[in-house]
């Protein structure tokens, strides 16, 4: 996952993440990583259209965006 986050930051490539909020709600996001810290990831969320801060411990999975894949978001 760390390599994918770094690639997203360097190449401004969107990635898909499954994220669990502090309330326990799971969401599917498409983000472009803007900054990487020890405990957090700062990224532009394409779903919400704004910069968001994600806790590393709450990122359940990360993957490249699949070409031609449509989501119900």
Does the structure show a pLDDT above 90 at 33? yes
Does the structure show a pLDDT above 90 at 14? yes
The C-alpha atoms of residue 72 and residue 53 are separated, in whole angstroms, by 23
pTM above 0.75, yes or no: yes
pLDDT score, position 36: 96
Q: What is the mean pLDDT of residues 37-62?
A: 95
As a whole number of Å, the end-to-end CA separation of the chain is: 23
The DSSP element (H or E) to which 29 belongs, if any, is strand 26-36
pLDDT score, position 72: 52
Does the structure show a pLDDT above 80 at 56? yes
């Amino acid at each position: 996952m760390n390599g994918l986050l770094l690639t997203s930051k360097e190449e401004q490539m969107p990635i898909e993440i499954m994220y669990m909020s502090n309330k326990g709600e799971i969401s599917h996001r498409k983000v472009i990583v803007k900054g990487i810290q020890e405990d957090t990831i700062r990224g532009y969320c394409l779903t919400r259209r704004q910069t968001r801060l994600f806790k590393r411990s709450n990122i359940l999975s990360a993957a490249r965006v699949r070409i031609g894949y449509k989501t119900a978001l």
